[in-house]
Structure 1
């Protein structure tokens, strides 16, 4: 792929950052919603609004927009909608009723690793290098800090169950990614997303009927509509649009690295909007997840080493016994990686 001029590329990087901001904001927004309405109702209005926007875009940009309605494409799109929209959505919203938005956002950072793991099972894909396995282990250790270590230090059954459900949602998304990859052999990403959103909205609609949706007080609550439309229009539609435009212009590798910002923004917004408490285990978990995913997705050891050092310094500055110990370990590891990378370049 040819390199874009620097000034021209800035707008695509801005689009990427905005997409990550929108996705990070989905965690506190969902936490607000689950306190107002049941999951099926939330899911229906989110993906109903997103489906309308996707259909409009589809008919504007695609030469054959009706392809997604062909019988030959129904089966694959049904499973896309079942796993990535409905399945993931139900688990995501159910988990958010039990845990905090910050914990959910940090666990969501593990998502690229679950995508790789499911791809290994589904497509027999293997992580290409040894360091990618190290990245997977580090990311998983980060999740363990949030789900397991914190539960040992301060047990909360709701948080534990909710976190495990969020983790299950990440595996549902991984399955969706593998099925979506199969679908994109014959359909465009926009067609797959549009078809999956329509199927997902329909399935959520069936579930919403059982919740007696039309009598819910939530439907006359402006906070419900504000957050439901935010999830549908900004998180699902605009986030998708900005992300795939950036992939087209900047390439999948550079664009994919920005996914690491989602748990960071999610955690930040959870503190600012919901005034949630962040424990030291969450900070360590967030750092390990971000480092692990960066290792999986990059071959540049300078970036990996720098991430270790920055994460280490952040943990040291917390001035808590265990964060200082782990922070020193991360900083020393990063320093060694940077030294070895410098020595290799000097040869």
Structure 2
């Protein structure tokens, strides 16, 4: 699971260089949604979906708009500008910002270990992203890629918090499948109206490497990794399974260096381990 999620960054980088980002995101989730529908059918024949309330349907539409539609566009768009290994360090910002906002708005408790982990994760991620100059983020001296990546982080944090509030009582597979369908519909409409026919023609003319990356991203990083993650939760418990997400930037950086030949900048070698250690501390603190 961690390898597949880490590999999603170099795969996304390949797609972002050959296919317009909205169309590439649409294709990714068309394939992934199809696989999720088949999985959900074999799981319970859509039984849980038939008993959703109006509020839950609205919540799923909102999570699809934020966690699939907006996040997917910002994710692939940022990889048009940033190396995938460097961008994968931003994963550490997701749990850090989620815990901060959950404490502020959902009254979830923080302890000293979690706070230390948050500080290390944020500093390490920003250090890696800024090539050793995190003060850039305070001065606003950012480029398009960093803004898009930070927006993707905000979308994912909002998706996570929204899920905690409005999706109680819905199993994860049903929620993910329906959210993906809603997000895919929004992506398809936007792709047709914004990027137009030429974007789909560029997909047909893309090199074989892009097709491989698309299939791997849709079925591997989106569908298969999700299945393995929830099997891991059943076998290990939620806390132990979540700890494995700290390996995602490790594999993201390594696979990007090997597959795409991206250089390992010194700031990446310093910032990424700090961010990973911060993620581990947050997980330990949550279990306590």
TM above 0.5, one fold?
A: yes
Q: CA deviation at 1:73?
A: 3.0
Identify the residue that residue 195 of structure 2 maps to in structure 1.
Answer: 211
2-structure distance, mates of 1:108, 1:139: 9
The yes-or-no answer on 1:41 pairing with 2:23 is yes
2-structure distance, mates of 1:205, 1:182: 27
Structure whose alpha-carbon radius of gyration is higher? 1
Gaps spanning 5+ residues in structure 1: where? 1-18, 301-347
Identify the residue that residue 7 of structure 1 maps to in structure 2.
Answer: none
Q: Structure 1's 123 and 219: CA in aligned 2 closer, same or farther, altered over 3 A? A: farther
2-structure distance, mates of 1:68, 1:43: 30
Identify the residue that residue 76 of structure 1 maps to in structure 2.
Answer: 59
Identify the residue that residue 87 of structure 2 maps to in structure 1.
Answer: 104
The yes-or-no answer on 1:270 pairing with 2:223 is no
Kept after mapping to 2: 8 A contact 1:28/1:101: yes
Deviations 1:17-57 (CA, angstroms, capped at 9, x unpaired): xx111100000010110110111101111111111111111
- Map residues 283-294 of structure 1 onto 2, 5 A cutoff: 283-294=269-280
2:32 to 30, 39, 50: 50
Identify the residue that residue 73 of structure 2 maps to in structure 1.
Answer: 90
- Map residues 223-242 of structure 1 onto 2, 5 A cutoff: 223-242=209-228
Q: Secondary structure of 1:53's match? A: helix
The farther-off stretch of 76-85 and 102-111 is 102-111
1-structure distance, mates of 2:78, 2:42: 36
Identify the residue that residue 197 of structure 1 maps to in structure 2.
Answer: 180
**Superposed CA RMSD:** 2.4
Q: CA deviation at 1:172?
A: 1.1
Q: CA deviation at 1:183?
A: 4.1
Q: Structure 1's 219 and 183: CA in aligned 2 closer, same or farther, altered over 3 A? A: farther
Q: Structure 1's 230 and 149: CA in aligned 2 closer, same or farther, altered over 3 A? A: closer
1:60 to 42, 50, 60: 42
The yes-or-no answer on 1:165 pairing with 2:172 is no
Kept after mapping to 2: 8 A contact 1:54/1:237: yes
Q: CA deviation at 1:106?
A: 1.1
2-structure distance, mates of 1:205, 1:118: 31
Give TM-score scaled by structure 2 length.
0.89
The yes-or-no answer on 1:23 pairing with 2:8 is no
Q: CA deviation at 1:168?
A: 2.3
Give TM-score scaled by structure 1 length.
0.75
2-structure distance, mates of 1:253, 1:105: 22
Q: Secondary structure of 2:109's match? A: coil
Gaps spanning 5+ residues in structure 2: where? none
Q: Structure 1's 283 and 187: CA in aligned 2 closer, same or farther, altered over 3 A? A: same
Q: Structure 1's 149 and 100: CA in aligned 2 closer, same or farther, altered over 3 A? A: closer
Structure with higher RCO (Cα < 8 A, 6+ apart): 2
